[in-house]
Structure 1
Amino acid sequence: MRISFLESEISQHYTEQNVLMAESPKSYSPLDIGKYSVAPSGLELEQVHIYVRHGERTPVGVRLAGPPANLPEHWMMCKTARRFQASVNAPGIGNGMDEFQQSRRVVERADGTHNESQCLLGELTDLGRKSTYNFGTSLRELYVERLGFLPDSLQNAEAVYFRTTNVPRTTESLQQIVHGLYPSSKCHPEAIPSIFVRNGRDENLLGNAGSCKRLEILLIGFAQAAASAYNHTLEPLDKKISRYIDGHPVRIDGKPRASGILDTIRAATAHNIKVPSEFEEKGVIDIIEKAVVAEWFAGCEIVFQFRNLTLPMNDSLTWKLSTDKTEEVRRLGMGRLLDDLSTKMQHKAAHGDKDPLKILVHSTHDTALAGLASTLDVFDDKWPQFTSSITFELFKSTSVKNGLSIFNNLMSPFRSKAGPEHYIRMRYQNKNMVLPLCAEEGKHLPGSPEFCTLTAFRERAKELTPVDFVSECAPAGRNSL
């Protein structure tokens, strides 16, 4: 997919003017430049990998819409997205050249009525476009203007890489980010960047349970265990909020599910929509969030309170949570993504300036960010906000060493050849992350534990990478090999 803000088969016509029309008191950029920590002297930035959640969207289902909650059933927050300019092939006109077709997209309700600004369920809103555009301008402010890492104008499309999951809200978010980082006026006509997208079976920007039956089975098991372990913690909330969900109890596996309630409340508050006062109580939301996070992400964490819990899954299988199954979820869910990341960084480290790729931006989902953070043991157990991101930065040591440490000699198979040491720094929620995998002496920059050696990072990534993803995704998993 080629990015063009004048023509595209599926993209909207964006200009800086109409992007900025999406005004809201809640608009902001989650990438806080003021909190960015410049690397110590002796380290040179070589490559940046960014994984960003899409911008603000509508809920993915209709919940709490009736009295007494009275949250919107129809969200009128998508006016900007309704203007299309698509390219269509017209063989009989102009020697077969494409021409532009102006159109509007309008959501029609079941009764045939419509409103031009109504959003689809789960759609990126005007506010989401604003915040992701701001994210792109913040990337520009940091890596172009402040650090001088990226050029002011893009002259070589191979210096950048943009990829999204095949979901409209992530695709549209990435278009906004790219326009903030490198607007059309800052792109050479021969350097218009592409947006890459993969078929569903090949997607690795999230835990792809749809293409991995074994991962689906594991996640269902962890979700059932979370319901058993946490539903009792939700019971005290029934007297407070059951009246907003037709008298149903609040449960992980309830109707609506606790995750659906959290999704609707978070979407509403992000758009300054008033929610019932009970949902503004920190104690209420914290309890729901803790249970929902356990349901979705316990499979990537070592959860000791589940260690001896057994639950029947079907007539022939008894579920038992263990660290082995946690490691398996990490392998099948995030292993391929980490392998992709570490392989590209190793290629950059080995080839230096011969590899022109400097920044990679991936537009993905909350489950990807939480899954990555959990897999690397730095998750804060908080549901990722809209437009939040994880960044991995590759640095090269400019200090010349006379020799390699014993650890580096042992890890030398992961190096293509001897050369300067390389380090990876992970940042999440505008903070440097100290990765437990490189806590040992020799696995991080002395005095700066947040700078993990590329060697140590690749060693852990290799442990998490499935040897044969298709075979390991069989229902019985690795035991069937």
Structure 2
Amino acid sequence: MRGFLRTAGLFGSVSVAFGSVLWSQKKTQPDASNTPSADPNAGHPYELKLVQVVFRHGARTPLKTIPDVMEAQWVPALLDPPPHTHINYVVTDLQGGPRPPAPIEENYRKNILSGGTFPGQLTTLGMQQLYDLGTRLRKIYVEELSFLNSSFTPAEVYVRSTNIVRTVESARCLIAGLFQQKQKEIVPILTTQAESEILYPNYHGCKLLKARCSHRWAESSTLPEIAADLQSIHSALGIADHHRVDFILIRDDMVARETHGLPSPPALESWRDTVERRAVDMMFHVFQPSNRQNLQLSVGPLLHTLLDNMDEKLQGTSSEPNRKLFLYSAHDTTLIPCLMALGIFDKKWPPYGADITVELHQNQQTNEPFVKVSYIGEDQLIPGCSGVYCPLQEFKQAIAACSLNVERYHSLCDSTEPEP
């Protein structure tokens, strides 16, 4: 696995991303004719039935640092957990058994950053960011809508995370903020082994995705415009030619420093916008945004899971009939392809703690189901939907090209095909 991680460039939070320059985020104000009042007592026709939140972990130490430049000091004090983020929790596999091995986390811990911490670790600031996301969700779903109970119970809330420490801890902090550390039972945070993970584009577990993308990683830095800018920034920063440093690595280190108020090379300041733009350009090239199969293989099973959860809620077939909230603690490289599949990517890298929230509503008179999607607290108009509150069938059709059931996913992943 370690060899492939090098081939892919960066994994975890910077494993892959997807995009299309033709798609843009649409921040809209809901049409009053198609939107229930925010006041739960106003007699609007819709009833909230289910909430699902896919979110990025909080601020962290960089996955790698820019070689040959001034190093930031990533000291252990930057990782101290705030007391108000503590909860009683346990990490298990999907069946409630022992936590699976975590090879990605083990790979991070083979290296130590200047200052003494490991790469990719959630910081105190990152913990606070996820606590704040939890308090934002609390204000809506506990205080305003009285949709959730004021304390945690696993019958009502499902918590799923990738098997990486920063996402597990991010889930913990969100729960602490959402329920103000009040819990009736221990919080189970469910995860799975790396080979079967669907909460990020899984090169290790999907041979076809690896075949379609791996060589394009190396190729992306050689595209004429990207290569020219890369050569220029190497010269400006004094990076030796033998170092394999691309815009994604530079961006990762740059943003981690900025977020934590740590010094950056002065020469990097004038390159900031270029670094952001070229990092996204590289992702576009790797994932061929015109090819929907890349999105299918990256987040198709996750999108299908979100739809299945809604169908089970409406049909009353869920094994946990009282469940109202699904939380998925993941990565920027989870959110980007999800935003692409939804047609609302704004061509900006999702910030730490960004969330996609999917609400299921039901018309109380007709029983017709509706879906509302928000991104970082802003309601979104999904292309193919007739309104911000989108009829479920329209929503399913809008993402049909990217959604993929697990059986079909495994069938595709086990195959190989020549690169077009």
TM-score (norm 2): 0.75
The Cα of 1:233 is off from its aligned counterpart by: 4.2
Q: CA distance change for structure 1 residues 348 and 82 in 2, over 3 Å: closer, same or farther?
A: closer
The equivalent position to 2:261 in structure 1, one of 272, 283, 288, is: 272
Is 1:393 aligned to residue 333 of structure 2?
no
Map Cα deviations across residues 230-272 of structure 1 (whole Å, 9 max, x no partner).
x4245256445524242449xxxx7212110000000000001
Q: Contact conserved, 1:472 with 1:478, CA < 8 A, in 2?
A: no
Q: Please name the residue that 1:207 is paired with.
A: 201
Residue equivalent to 1:404: none
Which of structures 1 and 2 has the bigger CA Rg? 1
Name the aligned partner's letter for residue 340 of structure 1.
T
Q: Look up the SS of the partner of 2:213 in the other structure.
A: helix
Residue aligning to 2:247: 258
Between 203-212 and 231-240, report the one with greater CA deviation. Answer: 231-240
The question of whether the paired residues in 2 share the 8 Å contact of 1:136 and 1:179 is answered with yes
CA distance in 1, matches of 2:262, 2:287: 33
Tell me: CA distance 1:220–1:240, structure 2 relative to 1, closer, same or farther (3 Å). Answer: closer
Question: Aligned letter for 1:348?
Answer: K
Distance 1:434 1:141 in 2: 23
Q: How does 1:59-458 map to 2 (within 5 A)?
A: 59-64=62-67, 66=68, 69-72=69-72, 74-80=74-80, 118-154=116-152, 156-184=153-181, 186-188=182-184, 191-224=185-218, 226-229=220-223, 231-233=224-226, 235-236=228-229, 238-239=231-232, 242-248=235-241, 255-281=244-270, 284-298=271-285, 302=289, 323=290, 326-351=291-316, 355-400=321-366, 420-438=367-385, 444=386, 449-458=387-396
For 1:163 and 1:388, how far apart are their aligned partners in 2?
16
Q: Residue 50 of structure 2: which of 47, 50, 71 is its match?
A: 47
Structure 1 position 297, deviation (Å): 4.4
Task: Label 1:351 to 1:56 Cα distance change in 2 as closer, same or farther (>3 A).
Answer: same
Report the CA distance between 1:211 and its aligned residue. 0.2
Q: Is the 8 A contact 2:160 2:329 kept in 1?
A: yes
Give the deviation of 1:85 after TM superposition. 12
Q: CA deviation at 1:474?
A: 3.1
Cα shift readout 1:365-418 (whole Å, capped 9, x = no counterpart): 110000101122211111111111111111111243xxxxxxxxxxxxxxxxxx
Deviates more, 1:272-281 or 1:232-241: 232-241
Residue identity in the other structure for 1:244: L
2:53 is paired with a residue whose SS is: strand
Q: Cα offset for 1:205?
A: 0.8
CA 1:85–1:290 in 2, change beyond 3 Å: closer, same or farther? Answer: closer
Taking only the aligned residue pairs, the percentage that are identical comes to 25
Looking at structure 2, the residues matched to 427 and 82 of structure 1 have their Cα atoms a distance apart, in angstroms, of 28
Tell me the equivalent position of 2:412.
472
The aligned amino acid for 2:301 is R
State the number of aligned residues: 359
Greater RCO between the two (CA within 8 Å, min separation 6)? 2
- Give the whole-Å Cα distance in 2 for the aligned partners of 1:42 and 1:85: 37
Q: CA deviation at 1:453?
A: 1.7
Q: For residues 271-315 of structure 1, give each alpha carbon's deviation from its aligned partner in whole angstroms, at most 9, with x where no partner exists.
A: 01132344333xx3232222222323456564xxxxxxxxxxxxx
Distance in 1 between residues matched to 2:141 and 2:249, nearest whole Å: 37
**Secondary structure in 1 matching 2:274:** helix
Distance 1:399 1:280, change over 3 A: farther
Contact 1:157 1:193 (C-alpha < 8 Å) held by counterparts: yes
Query: 2: distance between equivalents of 1:457 and 1:376?
Result: 9
* Equivalent position of 1:31 in the other structure: none
In structure 2, runs of 5+ residues without a counterpart are 1-27, 38-43, 90-107
The answer as to whether partners of 2:206 and 2:413 remain within 8 angstroms in 1 is: yes
Can you give the 5+ residue segments of structure 1 that lack an aligned partner in the other structure?
A: 1-34, 88-106, 303-322, 401-419, 439-443
Amino acid at match of 1:135: L
Distance 2:87 2:219 in 1: 48
Q: Per-residue deviation at 1:74?
A: 4.0
Please give the alpha-carbon distance, in whole angstroms, between the structure 2 residues aligned to 1:224 and 1:437. 35
Segment of structure 1 superposing worse, 77-86 or 218-227: 77-86
Contact 1:331 1:465 (8 Å CA) reproduced: yes
Seen in structure 2, the aligned counterparts of structure 1 residues 153 and 246 have a Cα distance that, compared at 3 Å, is closer
| Deviations 1:3-33 (CA, angstroms, capped at 9, x unpaired) | xxxxxxxxxxxxxxxxxxxxxxxxxxxxxxx
Residue 431 of structure 1 deviates from its aligned partner by 1.8
Structure 2 contact 51–359 (Cα < 8 Å) conserved: yes
Task: Using the TM superposition, give the Cα deviation of residue 475 of structure 1 relative to its aligned residue in structure 2, in angstroms.
Answer: 4.7
SS of residue in 1 equivalent to 2:337: helix
